[in-house]
């Protein structure tokens, strides 16, 4: 019987005859540079004058609902170009250089329904791989391999529409990981996942051999991050070591939460 690898092992498979992979728990560093980055949608300023140059392996992005986190995630992945200023990931402009971007960065959207295109799990997983230039047969093989690594071989022919929200999220994560980008951007990856799946995913992410950018409103989710950005109303309020920024963020959020006024959610 084929033994499937545990979900906790996201390391690339060594080719046969190659030595087993190194310990990837620290990840490979990446560099994010933003210079006066701004973005407006429909005439409304969503991101405003973001300035930072950060070397990281595990970067957290915190902020309240509507602060611009998901928008920044898309900008980092090059899916939206800023309308002012500049942003590079590992020295490359992801919006301009889409060919580089497909190898450099993978993004897990907050809403899996915005990510999934194909009717079955297997097709969804193979698609990104063919986009990267793999032949059809190899892409199918690698799609099956990633399913096996997550213990989900039985999902291959499943109709994505029949999966639960959390299960769809996992399909999207497998699709991103299968492409082995240097950096993964994870927009609220724990949202909607049950406790065991969240714990397994957290362990799996620690093993990711590249760098990661983890977006959440909850500091607990990003406890593993070495560096953290705090977005507030589309501006960068603070950037620095993870524990420092998360402590300041938590104190500010608890102070806000002590009030009764929900109206400050809309801006």
Give contact residues for Mg ion (rule: CB under 5 A).
69-70, 110
Q: Which does 71 bind (CB under 5 to 8 A by kind): ligand ATP, Mg ion, none?
A: ligand ATP
Instruction: Kindly state the helix (H) or strand (E) to which residue 69 belongs, with its residue range.
Output: helix 69-76
* Of 62-70, 81-89, 133-141, 153-161: span binding ligand ATP (CB under 6 A): 62-70
Sheet holding 30-41, edge to edge: 44-56, 30-41, 84-89
Report the site for ligand ATP in 197-256 (rule: CB under 6 A).
217
CB atoms within 10 A of CB 53: 11
Q: Which does 58 bind (CB under 5 to 8 A by kind): ligand ATP, Mg ion, none?
A: none
C-alpha span between 75 and 248 (Å, rounded):
26
Q: Which does 217 bind (CB under 5 to 8 A by kind): ligand ATP, Mg ion, none?
A: ligand ATP
Single out the residue of 63, 128, 181, 210 in contact with ligand ATP (rule: CB under 6 A): 63
- The CB-of-62 to ligand ATP minimum distance in angstroms stands at 9
- Total chain residues near ligand ATP (CB under 6 A): 13
Give the pair of three-digit tokens for residue 175.
Answer: 């699709």
In the bound state with ligand ATP, the residue whose beta carbon lies nearer, of 16 and 65, is 65
Q: Is 169 in the site for ligand ATP (CB under 6 A)?
A: no
Is 259 exposed, middle or buried (CB count within 10 Å of its CB: 0-12, 13-18, 19+)? exposed
x/- map, 119-158, ligand ATP, by CB under 6 A: ----------------------------------------
Q: Is 66 in the site for ligand ATP (CB under 6 A)?
A: yes
| Among the listed residues 257, 264, 228, the one whose alpha carbon sits nearest the alpha carbon of residue 32 | 228
C-alpha span between 9 and 6 (Å, rounded):
6
In the bound state with Mg ion, the residue whose beta carbon lies nearer, of 31 and 74, is 74
* CA dihedral of 75, 79, 107, 39, whole degrees rounded to 10: 20
179-199 residues labelled b (16+ CB within 10 A) or e (exposed):
bbbbbbbbbbbbbbbeeebbe
Q: Which does 11 bind (CB under 5 to 8 A by kind): Mg ion, ligand ATP, none?
A: none
* Of 9-17, 41-49, 86-94, 173-181: span binding ligand ATP (CB under 6 A): 41-49
For 33, list phi and psi in degrees, rounded to 5.
-125, 130
Single out the residue of 48, 57, 88, 110 in contact with ligand ATP (rule: CB under 6 A): 110
For 30, list phi and psi in degrees, rounded to 5.
-135, 165
Give residues in contact with ligand ATP (CB under 6 A).
41-42, 46, 63, 65-71, 110, 217
């Amino acid at each position: 019987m084929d033994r499937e690898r545990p979900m906790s092992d996201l390391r690339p498979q060594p080719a046969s005859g190659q030595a087993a992979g190194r310990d990837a728990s620290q990840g490979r560093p990446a560099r994010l540079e933003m210079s006066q980055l701004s973005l407006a949608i429909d005439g409304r300023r969503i991101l405003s004058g973001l300035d930072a140059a950060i070397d990281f392996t595990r970067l957290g992005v915190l902020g309240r609902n509507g602060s611009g986190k998901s928008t920044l995630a898309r900008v980092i992945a090059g899916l939206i170009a800023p309308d002012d200023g500049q942003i590079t990931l590992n020295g490359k402009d992801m919006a301009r250089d889409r060919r580089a971007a497909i190898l450099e960065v993978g993004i897990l959207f907050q809403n899996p329904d915005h990510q999934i295109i194909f009717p079955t799990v297997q097709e969804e997983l193979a698609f990104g791989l063919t986009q990267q230039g793999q032949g059809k047969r190899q892409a199918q093989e690698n799609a099956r391999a990633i399913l096996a690594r997550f213990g989900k071989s039985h999902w291959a022919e499943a109709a994505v529409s029949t999966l639960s929200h959390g299960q769809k999220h996992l399909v999207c994560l497998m699709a991103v990981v299968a492409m082995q980008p240097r950096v993964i951007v994870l927009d609220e990856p724990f949202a909607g996942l049950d406790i065991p799946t969240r714990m397994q995913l957290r362990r799996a992410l620690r093993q990711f051999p590249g760098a990661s950018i983890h977006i959440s409103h909850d500091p607990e989710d990003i406890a593993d991050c070495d560096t953290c950005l705090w977005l507030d109303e589309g501006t960068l309020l603070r950037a620095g070591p993870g524990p420092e920024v998360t402590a300041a963020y938590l104190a500010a959020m608890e102070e806000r939460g002590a009030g009764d006024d929900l109206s400050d959610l809309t801006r």
